[in-house]
Amino acid sequence: MSHNTIELNKQRQPLDHLESLWLFGYGSLIYKADFPFIERRPAAIEGWQRRFWQGSHDHRGTPEAPGRVATLIEQPQARCAGMAYHVTPDVFEHLDHREKNGYLRVTTPMHFLDDRTPITTEGIVYIAGPDNDAYLGPASEYDIARHVAVSHGPSGPNSEYVLKLAEALQALDEHDAHVFEIAEHLRHLLSESA
Ligand code: SIN
């Protein structure tokens, strides 16, 4: 599959007939909301784990030297916490462009973390699967940190993506061992090279 998913997302999942819907963000969408939203609430989805296995050609790297950004990998016992945004469908014009490097929209059940009795709602999540051309796949947390430490793209240093995500998860009081371990290695690597 080509890594540019703009047209594919439009064809696969037209949204214009809807008045509003929920978007679930688990990566940069947690800490960088550069789109209008009606409301935002911490939320989680089940059966998916966050992994820095997707290459970034357009934000945190280049086609010649891709960075590493988050995607979701199916894992039956896993839970992934993030931020849900209540949005109008026109916002997906911008989001499809922002997430064009391999991410497809998928509809998933999600629940809000600030509800006393969790109610399941549907949310749309952007997932970059192993069949997209920009996919990089697994590596150890240390190797991912070493890769991230030297990557840069039009949106800034790759390290900023990881460290901001780790901070945002901490602020949500959510532990993600994969993200926190990469962030820890990265802090050491960056302080060594300073
Ligand atoms: C997301 O944040 O939900 C998708 C991946 C990204 O844009 O970092």
DSSP assignments along 90-101, one per residue: THHHHHHHHTTB
The whole-angstrom separation of Cα 62 and Cα 56 is 7
Query: Residue 16: its pLDDT value, please?
Result: 82
What pLDDT was estimated at residue 125? 98
Q: Look up 122 and say whether it is catalytic.
A: no
How many whole angstroms separate alpha carbon 116 and alpha carbon 56?
Answer: 37
Nearest CA to ligand 1 atom 2: 27
Q: What is the pLDDT of residue 119?
A: 83
pTM, entire model: 0.95
Summarize pLDDT for 19-77 with one digit per residue, the tens.
999 999 999 999 999 999 999 999 999 999 999 999 999 999 999 999 999 999 999 99
Q: What is the DSSP string of 87-144?
A: E-TTHHHHHHHHTTBT-EEEEEEEEETT-SS--EEEEEEEE--TTSTTB-----HHHH
Determine which one of 93, 99, 141, 174 is catalytic.
99
Q: How confident is the model at residue 4 (pLDDT cuts 50, 70, 90)?
A: confident
Q: Which amino acid is at 146?
A: R
- What pLDDT is attached to residue 193? 84
Whether 163 contacts 119, CB under 8 Å = no
How close is the Cα of 167 to the center of ligand 1, in Å? 15
pLDDT in tens, 91-145: 999 999 999 999 999 999 999 999 777 789 999 999 999 999 999 999 999 999 9
